Structure 1
Amino acid sequence: MFELFKRREFGDYISDTFQFFRQTGKHYLKTYFTISGAMLLLLVVASYFLFQVYFDFTLNTGRDGNANADYLQGYLLDNIAVIILVAVFLFLFIILLSMLNYSIPVLYMDLYDQNKGSGFEVREVLQNFRKKFGKILLFFLGTVFLITPILFVVFALLVLLCFILIGIPMLLLAIPTAFSWIILSFFEYLNNDKGLFEAYGDGFYHIKNQYFPIVGSAMVMYIMIQVSMTVFTFIPYMFGVASVFTTIENPQANADGLSTMKIMMTVVMVISMLASFILNNLLMVNQGLVYYSRREFDENISSNDSIDSIGLE
């Protein structure tokens, strides 16, 4: 069994994240893809067609100029109701998928703690998601309408400070700090009987007591994820670019090259979007380990459990 409650430092947060997936990855990924796999597949299909339409319009506008721009304007005006309906549906779909994507790691790790291992079924995670859906929705709404505006103001000030250089390192630290604060607050909110603002206060308390290990580990995990995504998308992107430059002197071949470029760019965008959802689990588990580690620092849970087990013997 993987040890959730453990006092960790910077290196432990990173190494234990990968150790968690080595020990429980098969069960975790089965749970994740069983719950969100259908929605991810729908996202891939919808994204592919949307990006195809976008690149079609972009390439055609580049060749035909204002004619295509006028056609697009007319099409949008004639179908405005349908476009708004589709946009609202896609917005709600992305919100629901994001809620699932951020909630599954929290609910999974909580059940892992309660069952002292991965001896639980996918349906139990789903049941907890349905039971806590109201809290999850409230947290998302609170974050969007209360916390996000504050963060926008802070980031805007830091961007202005970049002109005198001091804002650059502060901005680099502010991004993972904001992410860690929100995610730790989410763990506190879902796993305990706390109000929204109390959870945000506890999330801030956790970061304050171990700032650089927590924020540093989040930053390292984010860099690893971005490097992985670059590797996944670099090969199809280079194929697309090569197809354009190798056919540039032949008009017919150049059209085929642009078509290949369009497909490859679409593939790159779809892979990037899908990878961002899947690899986000690394960051969520990393911050989950921060949450359980900070509880161990504050409550000595593993030590108390050891004493209780000795007493039972």
Structure 2
Amino acid sequence: MAQQKIQLGKLRDFGENFSDTFQFIKQEFKPLITCFLVISGFFILSSSILGGLYQKDAFGFLDQFQPGLNSIPQRGLSETFTIGYFAFLIVTVLNISVMRTVVAVYMKLYDETGESPSIQEVWNMFARYFFRIFLYSIPQFILIMVGMIFCLAPGIYFMVVLLPYPFMVVNENVSFTESFNRSIYLIKENFWVSLGTYFVAYIIYAVSSSVIGLMIGAIFGVGSYLSTGELSSAAAYVTAVLSLVQYVFYIVFFVSVGLHYYHLVEQKDGTGLTKRLETLGDNSGTNTSIEEQY
């Protein structure tokens, strides 16, 4: 028996968001994870490897630490903010934009067709929107950081408001200014429920990915330390594996964000209801071959 299609564009309460998140991932697991890894895989691996290498360098002082010493070697700013650090930062920003675009595109195609999209379909739409989503993320990131530095509350507000912007770009094809104004419009009177939804979704994502990532990373880390005797190498392996697992589990968090976006749009615009009403007449030719009976 075919699985019932999950209606993305509908009103959801707090609990329904999470139940539909896991139901959607369970139903679409194979095609979704395939598209996610095929398109995002290079950036995920690059970010994880660069993160591991940077951590190996950052924790290099541990290899010089000897029992009985009263102090641990200190690192200067030039040793912390290295070329490797900035390379890791740039690739990570790219990676997050790639992952968000893939999930947003996948959910849009699923919503339009009612079927699991192919890798080619996701890639074609991904190529159309990725660069724009990446560019939009830069000023938004700066705005959030400025808000965090000068006063924590504005930073949190803009983080909540702007989180679903990739779905706006993909579904509504809006400009940067339009996406910003649209975000504020959707979040109006929905800030606290949005903050609660995103917070719980992030906790689920962070805890589940950290537990599994640390378990796997610890195995690689212990094996590395036993073979090399270097604490820095062990830290690098743990960091790289943990990052890899967290990136894959990011699907859980961002699918929840996407479903909340569809909820906000339905609440404000009623597009999902309009779509369902428009499809009522699609079956006008049904049963035309059945003769009238008395």
Normalising by structure 2, we get a TM-score of 0.77
Please give the alpha-carbon distance, in whole angstroms, between the structure 2 residues aligned to 1:135 and 1:302: 26
Q: Secondary structure at the match of 1:289?
A: helix
The answer on 1:144 being equivalent to 2:141 is: yes
Q: Which residue of 1 aligns with 2:290?
A: none
> Contact (CA 8 Å) 2:143, 2:158: kept in 1 or not?
no
Select the residue among 113, 120, 123 that pairs with 1:126: 123
Amino acid of the residue matched to residue 199 of structure 2? M
Please give the alpha-carbon distance, in whole angstroms, between the structure 1 residues aligned to 2:125 and 2:279: 29
* Aligned positions of 1:184-223 closer than 5 A: 184-223=164-203
Q: Which residue of 2 aligns with 1:247?
A: none
Select the residue among 114, 117, 141 that pairs with 1:116: 114
> Contact (CA 8 Å) 1:236, 1:267: kept in 2 or not?
no
Q: Number of residue pairs matched?
A: 275
Change (3 A) 1:101 1:238: closer
Q: Which residue of 2 aligns with 1:22?
A: 26
Superimposed CA distance per residue, residues 166-202 of structure 1 (whole angstroms, 9 cap, x where no aligned partner): xxxxx9xx74x54432222332233224332332222
The answer on 1:290 being equivalent to 2:260 is: yes
RMSD, aligned α-carbons: 3.7
Select the residue among 12, 15, 38 that pairs with 1:11: 15
Please give the alpha-carbon distance, in whole angstroms, between the structure 2 residues aligned to 1:137 and 1:262: 33
Select the residue among 9, 32, 43 that pairs with 1:39: 43
Amino acid of the residue matched to residue 215 of structure 1? L
TM-fit CA distance, 1:17: 0.8
Q: Secondary structure at the match of 1:209?
A: coil
The answer on 1:225 being equivalent to 2:223 is: no
Change (3 A) 1:20 1:55: same
Amino acid of the residue matched to residue 94 of structure 1? T
> Contact (CA 8 Å) 2:217, 2:242: kept in 1 or not?
no
Select the residue among 280, 288, 291 that pairs with 2:250: 280
The answer on 1:310 being equivalent to 2:290 is: no
TM-fit CA distance, 1:215: 1.8
* Aligned positions of 1:96-111 closer than 5 A: 96-111=94-109
> Contact (CA 8 Å) 2:98, 2:130: kept in 1 or not?
no
Give unpaired runs (5+ residues) of structure 2: 285-294
Change (3 A) 1:256 1:20: closer
> Contact (CA 8 Å) 2:54, 2:85: kept in 1 or not?
no
Q: Which residue of 1 aligns with 2:289?
A: none
Bigger helix share: 1
Identity %: 21
TM-fit CA distance, 1:16: 0.9
> Contact (CA 8 Å) 2:9, 2:266: kept in 1 or not?
yes
Superimposed CA distance per residue, residues 86-105 of structure 1 (whole angstroms, 9 cap, x where no aligned partner): 55544432332222122111
TM-fit CA distance, 1:38: 2.7
